[in-house]
Structure 1
Amino acid sequence: MADRILRFLRGEGPDSQGRFLRDVLAFDDGRLEARHDFIQWLFPLPEPSRAVPGSPVLSPEEASAIRADPRALKGLRAALGRMSRFYAETDHWLTRFDHNHLRITRIIAATRELLGREAAAAFHDAITARNAAAGHAVNDDSLRHWARALG
């Protein structure tokens, strides 16, 4: 189905595991940390995931459809809010190397592409401020990837 990401973000269709957007948004912090097969649905990119083969890949047509769909944008904003709370309320990612650093890059890039640079910059600013408050724990390469994803 060509519009499976759109349908997921609208709350109308399941991801590859049979979960709907509402199910993923209801994950507690422990489940968000432990699962690696949801972030590609919440924040789709036009290139395949190296971490989770078979994850959806955002086509230019589907990106346009998402940007034009108020319900999909509402779902994407809800996902951004949930992940923003996750990073604000947890500390384990505030270390030199962590898989969440890749997730953050994805979130910034997808947010920029689908919600706009302003929303992506707000998330980037919150993440980098959190890192600064933790004594600049995150490695410089990750910080550069986040800045590049912001554009």
Structure 2
Amino acid sequence: MSPQRPARQAMQRLVDFYDPATKGKDVGGRTLDQILGWRDTRLESQHDYIQILFPLPEGSIFNEWAPVIDEETFLYLRQDNNSHNFQPSMRRVLTRMLTFYGFDITWEEDNTEGASGSKRYAVAVTAKPGAEDDCFPRWVRRRDHNHLRISRILRSLRVLGLADEARAFFAALVWVFDTYGRISDDSMMFWRRAVELPLHVAPDGTEVDWLGEYEEKNKEEKN
């Protein structure tokens, strides 16, 4: 039986926000299309959108209205994306933010199948031509508020079932880190934790109990 639509109003709003048919609005009255249409300067200067574009199962100290994913919503959003078009919308969001940071992303269908016969894709994230002069200066530095955003993006992708995209983005970040030598070791440490720690553990060490139980259940089923 497929997971039911989330019961909490905040989670229903999140689902509707990502639904291309519903075109729901966030608490600020903005649709997904509106935010994705913002210029880079607005994406840089405004700080209350990243939490809804990339929701987490942990709260945000920067935005009290940030959606906090519960188990019901987690299961609903990770089911077959044909039922609600969430993952295609998430890929649109990721593509826009990667463009903001100076990257291109590509998906190439491979010859294997995922769970329940779903298609699988090889994902690659590469630097855009001219990014060194255009996009990288806004965040390729020792410390920057975008580093926190990137940690959120990486973790959110994994939580929402886009682990391949998270790994591809992280690989591109490692390349930038090694190539330019401007980003702090601390930022790279948090990015690595966002990709490599067990899913129930956030980069800062916060643990989500229900997510840990989900992981344990999955291990038992695989064994």
What is the alpha-carbon distance in structure 1 between the residues aligned to residue 37 and residue 177 of structure 2? 25
Relative to the length of structure 1, the TM-score reads: 0.93
Runs of 4+ in 1 over 2 A off after TM superposition: 130-133
Larger radius of gyration: 2
2:59 corresponding residue in structure 1 = 48
What is the alpha-carbon distance in structure 2 between the residues aligned to residue 45 and residue 9 of structure 1? 15
Q: 1:83-119: per-residue Cα shift (whole Å, max 9, x none)? A: 1111114121111110000000000000011133211
Q: 1:126 aligns with which of 172, 176, 195?
A: 172
2:183 corresponding residue in structure 1 = 138
Q: 1:66 aligns with which of 69, 77, 87?
A: 77
What is the alpha-carbon distance in structure 1 between the residues aligned to residue 183 and residue 139 of structure 2? 8
1:81 corresponding residue in structure 2 = 95
Q: Which has the higher contact order (CA 8 A, sep 6+)?
A: 1
What is the alpha-carbon distance in structure 1 between the residues aligned to residue 32 and residue 42 of structure 2? 15
What is the alpha-carbon distance in structure 2 between the residues aligned to residue 29 and residue 36 of structure 1? 13
Q: 2:17 aligns with which of 8, 28, 41?
A: 8
Deviates more, 1:69-78 or 1:28-37: 69-78
- 1:28, distance to aligned residue in structure 2 (A): 1.1
- 1:39, distance to aligned residue in structure 2 (A): 0.6
Matched, 1:94 2:140: yes
* Bigger proportion of residues as strand: 2
- Identity, in percent, stands at 37
Q: Is 1:6–1:65's contact at 8 Å kept on the other side of the alignment?
A: no
- 1:137, distance to aligned residue in structure 2 (A): 1.1
SS of aligned partner of 1:3: helix
Relative to the length of structure 2, the TM-score reads: 0.64
Deviates more, 1:62-71 or 1:98-107: 62-71
Q: Is 1:10–1:75's contact at 8 Å kept on the other side of the alignment?
A: yes
* Count of residue pairs brought into register by the alignment: 150
Q: Is 1:66–1:114's contact at 8 Å kept on the other side of the alignment?
A: yes
Task: For 2:157, give the aligned amino acid.
Answer: T
Task: For 2:100, give the aligned amino acid.
Answer: F
Q: Is 1:109–1:120's contact at 8 Å kept on the other side of the alignment?
A: yes
Listed as ranges, the gaps of 5+ residues in structure 2 are: 1-8, 103-130, 197-223
CA RMSD of aligned residues (A): 1.3
Listed as ranges, the gaps of 5+ residues in structure 1 are: none
What is the alpha-carbon distance in structure 1 between the residues aligned to residue 97 and residue 89 of structure 2? 12
- 1:127, distance to aligned residue in structure 2 (A): 2.3
What is the alpha-carbon distance in structure 2 between the residues aligned to residue 25 and residue 127 of structure 1? 22
* Bigger proportion of residues as helix: 1
Deviates more, 1:60-69 or 1:106-115: 60-69
